[in-house]
Structure 1
Amino acid sequence: MMPRDRVAAIGCLLLLASMVATGCTAPSPRHSPSAASPTVGASVPASDTAWWRASPDVATLATGLAAPWSVVPLEGGGALISQRDDGTVRELTGDGRLRTVGAVPGVVSGGESGLHGLALLDTDGSTMLYAYFGSADDNRVVRMPLRGAAGSYELGEPDVVLDGIPKAANHDGGRIAFGPDGYLYVTTGDAGRPQAAQERDALGGKILRMTPDGDPAPGNPWSTRVWSMGHRNVQGIAWTADGTMWASEFGQNTWDELNRIEPGANYGWPVVEGVAQRDEYVDPVAQWPTSEASPSGLAAVGATLFLASLRGERLWQVDTAEGAATGEPVAAFVGEFGRLRDVVAVPDRSLWVLTNNTDGRGEPGPTDDLLLRVQLTPSP
């Protein structure tokens, strides 16, 4: 990660964000359980207005992971996990074994780059695994047939969905998820070129919205793949049960952000960071000093968002109502498990959380990362 001047903790600032209707009508996939998948979150029996909290009931599901980045729950209780630095996809089987499914061809890791987000899509009786990764020259999204059965999955040959996304040693974005509209959402970083975030036709510093084949999705604001712009480095996206889209975003020197995502909106980077109260940019719904967050994965259950924090080493819990944050964000597990990379909601009313303590800066380290299960309870 690029060195950043960190400020002392000064608390969380919340602002209201306006409501917007996207009007998307494409059919949803049967399941698309990526780190921020609305399908997984919607499977949890929670109403649009229900709020939730992480309980102290934490179990370890897997150990010995090396720089894991994304976890995808599977039907039947297993999961697929991406490992950033070696480019492998690991399978946690239903009986608790950890095995290697395969290496994604073409992954070239270094710094923050490597194998990032995963998402699944079932179509016509087959299952495709989508993956975002850094190649020798760019970041790209590919899809591969997921062959076999639970406990013996294998990867088929990759097909490029989108290439040409700018790559650098840092700010590579990397989260992918199928939204409730059935389209593929992809987050990209500015790749060390901040002004790209303000260039509407550039792929860097954006959230993209595409068909499963990689074409611009119908209804996009500029008839391109770009859904929103002015982002520095989004690494988490999620939809609350009311359909509202949210994103967690790395700041630079001062503020990390939670944003409500609106089509065609500009979130200000690099002109502004955090709340600016300028009409041409959308302010974050919540912001944190960078020492308290450095956010990555994002999950939603009911009307509560769960934000995994790297440098902050905690799980932020943000309740929402009518498209805005309500009350103060609540931190859980501060310093208990180290850096938290990803969080997903699963149907048994729990969260699965990936730690990321293996290296943190792209350096070799022990395989000491975990997949944790966190039980949820209704918020009082």
Structure 2
Amino acid sequence: MKRRRLGTALSAVVTAMCATAATAQAAGGTAADQLLSLNRPVTASSSGGCCAAKNAVDGDSSTRWASGSGADPQWIYVDLGSVAHISRVRLQWDTSCATAYEIDTSNDHATWTRIYSTTSGKGGVEDLTSLDGNGRYVRMYGTKRCRSDSSHGYSLQEYGVYGTVGGDTTAPTPPGTPALVGDTPNSATVRWTASTDDVGVTGYDIYHDGQLCASVDGSTLTGTCGGLNPNSTYGFYVNARDAAGNVSQPSGTLSVTTPPSDDHTPPTAPTDVHTTTVTGTGIGLAWTASTDDVGVAGYRVYDVTDGTRTRIGASDADTPRATLDGLTPNTTYHLQVTAYDGNGNESDGSTPVLDVTTSGSSQCTPAQGVCAVTQVGADDDVVWGLVTLPDGTILFNERDAHAIVHLNPKTGAKKTIGTVPNVQSTDGEGGLTGLEINPVSFSSDHWLYIMHTSPSDNRIVRIKYDPSADALQTGTEQVLVSGIQRNKFHDGGRLRFSPDGKYLFAGTGDAQNGDNAQNTSSLNGKVLRIDPDGSIPADNPFHNAVWSYGHRNVQGLAFDAQGRLWEQEFGNSVMDETNLITKGGNYGWPSCEGTSGTCGTSGFIAPKHTYPVADGSCSGITIIRGFLYVACERGTRLYREEISGSSLTNVKEYLNGAHGRLRTVEPAPDGGMWLATSNGGDKDSTAHNSDNQIFHVSVS
């Protein structure tokens, strides 16, 4: 049988492991001598053009890993997926061997413990038995090559690591809810009560709003997060770690509003505000930059029609210009620009008020890119997954209320069609997230594919929709994938069918444990690929649901006209990234964030585009007529990027600051786009405390 359900596949793996152990014991060996490294993720200091690091653990001695030539030291390490006791390492060298090398173990691939070393390596097959070490990562670290000429490096045909997987799979208990010790305009210090663990807590990670901001050791119960903004509100919480890499569920959340700084002087008002372009749906503005005693943080553009000031645009500190998109043709706007600083001081409005009338044409030209923006619906919950039904109406998920809503975009009428069972929020980003339909079979099978957080995990389910009753048939629910770890943040959630309807892809988060992302046995920090009924396609690279790995928190998936899958991913504090997904590809997290960190490591696939987190925190993506559209939350803007070969070019920004935080974009039937905002309440799990809109956007 070529295809198996996920649970069946896992049972088969466990059975095979037990059989291996029994065979070893029957042969006079011990269960400790199991091959743990076969097809596990590997990382190397370098690789020659012929010979990738993964060749050393593929079980095929006709392939090999070769390091870069003429340099010492060079290394390769394998990720066993969890802490193991290492009893044996078998090295099968090609001609280019090592005369001096060591074998090291580590729990974090940063601090290494030597368990074997030699200065008299002979090459060939070196079977190192009676080793005694513990670690998740096992490294061969070569310091002297057999061949001293500069045209050769190190070359391993096979790198076999043997032992037994460690028994500690129990995560620490959640730490106590933090309390505030003290704060400044740019930092906050918190304390918490200790977590407990069956072996021992080795560290604590402090987060605000899903971003790691400090780490301390297991005996320290206070920590300081810096780099904060004055007069801003943050949600702080703590996770505990043990030596085996198990991460606790989070503490409760402490809300802290940093005090204002001593800067109470607003910037000067912008001057010489003037138009650069005027179309039926857009106005280009420019002005003379403001000055400030500390520094300008950005600009805001307002329409002050009828004495009401409505924000309709924004720009960054170094950009004294803005493009206002999605305006109404043949309409006069009364425009004013202000500047603000890091303490929130805002300047007076520019004078005089600039009166600009859009033209009478609503035609969307290629030069405009994004044109008319028309509101078609509103909701007071977090609008997450969204699909278009064959009749042109919309279904969308309410993340925190756990309901699915049917919206008619022509009339604005909406109806809640049902609540998804067994959904539990996380006081963060978890809850009811992904929603998808099969583009080929929905008209006949009526399955809704749903991703959500449950009390124990994240999972993918499918439930029938009854068009005649306009209702969710919860009794038809089938669980397709379970066991995706959950946490307060980093729960992923996007679903996307391949255009031919054969495979369902899902984006998952690392559950705030970066080690999950590099472990191909874990479903976290991955792009998953399954059949519509939940079984595992026979050609998946790791014989489970994993399609690609090394992701932090997958938020967007979209297929282009060539059938290629693009992915959008939250970074931590440096940059977000857009990736072109390949089968079995490793995208680098946690060692690499965008292009920051050890991104040049052999085997890591570089992103196609990156975004500073302050201008990004980008979520949903969609592709329309060869352009990738990226909706950004913190950046409050929409990116439009031309797909040129395997590159993203001609990147432009739209709707900057016009509608606040943007989360979800999907194709509309007329060649336009649906766009959903994510304003208010999207960092907690309180239902119906948001103020969101769903728009139709005309694109060129």
Indicate whether the TM-score tops 0.5: yes
The equivalent residue for 2:621 is: 298
Shift of 1:64: 2.7
In the alignment, structure 1 residue 358 sits paired with structure 2 residue 673: no
The equivalent residue for 1:133 is: 452
After superposition, the C-alpha distances for 1:243-298 in whole angstroms (9 at most, x for unaligned) are: 22100000112010000111111000001111223332001100011011111111
In the alignment, structure 1 residue 161 sits paired with structure 2 residue 488: no
Instruction: Indicate conservation of the 8 Å contact 2:399/2:433, yes or no.
Output: yes
Instruction: Indicate conservation of the 8 Å contact 1:206/1:230, yes or no.
Output: yes
> Within 2, Cα distance between the matches of 1:116 and 1:52?
35
Shift of 1:55: 2.5
The equivalent residue for 2:357 is: none
Shift of 1:221: 1.6
> Within 2, Cα distance between the matches of 1:91 and 1:245?
28
Give runs of aligned pairs for residues 303-314 of structure 1, distance below 5 A.
303-314=626-637
After superposition, the C-alpha distances for 1:57-84 in whole angstroms (9 at most, x for unaligned) are: 0111101341111111111221001010
The equivalent residue for 1:109 is: 425
> Within 2, Cα distance between the matches of 1:306 and 1:376?
10
> Within 2, Cα distance between the matches of 1:317 and 1:53?
11
> Within 2, Cα distance between the matches of 1:145 and 1:83?
18
The equivalent residue for 1:15 is: none
The equivalent residue for 1:343 is: 665
Bigger-Rg structure (1/2) = 2
After superposition, the C-alpha distances for 1:145-175 in whole angstroms (9 at most, x for unaligned) are: 10133x8333332111111101000000100
In the alignment, structure 1 residue 144 sits paired with structure 2 residue 463: yes
Equivalent of residue 188 in structure 1, options 508, 514, 531: 508
SS in 2 for 1:125: helix
Relative distance call for 1:105 and 1:261 in structure 2 (3 A) is same
SS in 2 for 1:197: helix
Paired residue type of 1:164 = G
The equivalent residue for 2:283 is: none
In the alignment, structure 1 residue 289 sits paired with structure 2 residue 606: no
The equivalent residue for 1:20 is: none
In the alignment, structure 1 residue 334 sits paired with structure 2 residue 656: yes
Percent of pairs identical after alignment? 34
In the alignment, structure 1 residue 198 sits paired with structure 2 residue 515: no
> Within 1, Cα distance between the matches of 2:388 and 2:442?
17
Residue segments in structure 2 that go unaligned for 5+ positions in a row: 1-208, 214-226, 229-296, 298-315, 319-365
Equivalent of residue 252 in structure 1, options 565, 569, 572: 572
> Within 2, Cα distance between the matches of 1:95 and 1:76?
14
> Within 2, Cα distance between the matches of 1:140 and 1:295?
23
> Within 2, Cα distance between the matches of 1:309 and 1:155?
33
After superposition, the C-alpha distances for 1:22-75 in whole angstroms (9 at most, x for unaligned) are: xxxxxxxxxxxxxxxxxxxxxxxxxxxxx8964230111101341111111111
Equivalent of residue 98 in structure 1, options 398, 411, 414: 414
The equivalent residue for 2:551 is: 231
SS in 1 for 2:517: helix
TM-score for the superposition, normalised by structure 2: 0.46
Relative distance call for 1:264 and 1:311 in structure 2 (3 A) is same
SS in 1 for 2:535: coil
Shift of 1:338: 0.7
Count of aligned pairs between the two proteins: 336
In the alignment, structure 1 residue 178 sits paired with structure 2 residue 490: no
SS in 2 for 1:252: coil
Paired residue type of 1:333 = L
The structure with the largest strand share of the pair is 2
Paired residue type of 2:663 = R
Q: Please say which of residues 59-68 and 118-127 is displaced more in the overlay.
A: 118-127
> Within 1, Cα distance between the matches of 2:535 and 2:685?
36
User: Which gives a bigger RCO, structure 1 or 2 (Cα 8 Å, sep 6+)?
Assistant: 1
Equivalent of residue 590 in structure 2, options 267, 270, 285: 270
Instruction: Indicate conservation of the 8 Å contact 1:240/1:300, yes or no.
Output: yes
Q: Please say which of residues 190-199 and 270-279 is displaced more in the overlay.
A: 270-279
Shift of 1:366: 3.5
Instruction: Indicate conservation of the 8 Å contact 2:498/2:563, yes or no.
Output: no
Relative distance call for 1:134 and 1:321 in structure 2 (3 A) is same
Shift of 1:2: 1.3
Paired residue type of 1:119 = E
Relative distance call for 1:309 and 1:124 in structure 2 (3 A) is closer
Paired residue type of 1:224 = N
Paired residue type of 2:574 = T
In the alignment, structure 1 residue 261 sits paired with structure 2 residue 469: no
Shift of 1:136: 0.3
Paired residue type of 1:252 = N
Shift of 1:303: 1.6
Shift of 1:123: 5.7
The equivalent residue for 1:35 is: none
Give runs of aligned pairs for residues 2-21 of structure 1, distance below 5 A.
2-3=210-211
The equivalent residue for 2:202 is: none
Relative distance call for 1:71 and 1:78 in structure 2 (3 A) is same
After superposition, the C-alpha distances for 1:71-114 in whole angstroms (9 at most, x for unaligned) are: 11111221001010010000003643111000000110121100
Shift of 1:363: 5.3
> Within 2, Cα distance between the matches of 1:102 and 1:145?
11
> Within 2, Cα distance between the matches of 1:212 and 1:248?
23
TM-score for the superposition, normalised by structure 1: 0.84
After superposition, the C-alpha distances for 1:323-363 in whole angstroms (9 at most, x for unaligned) are: 21123x21110011111110001220110001111312115
Shift of 1:3: 3.4
The equivalent residue for 2:395 is: 80
Instruction: Indicate conservation of the 8 Å contact 1:244/1:323, yes or no.
Output: no
SS in 2 for 1:195: helix
Give runs of aligned pairs for residues 25-104 of structure 1, distance below 5 A.
54-93=369-408, 95-104=411-420
> Within 1, Cα distance between the matches of 2:675 and 2:454?
27
The equivalent residue for 1:36 is: none
Residue segments in structure 1 that go unaligned for 5+ positions in a row: 12-50
Q: Please say which of residues 253-262 and 180-189 is displaced more in the overlay.
A: 180-189
> Within 1, Cα distance between the matches of 2:368 and 2:473?
36
> Within 1, Cα distance between the matches of 2:517 and 2:442?
33
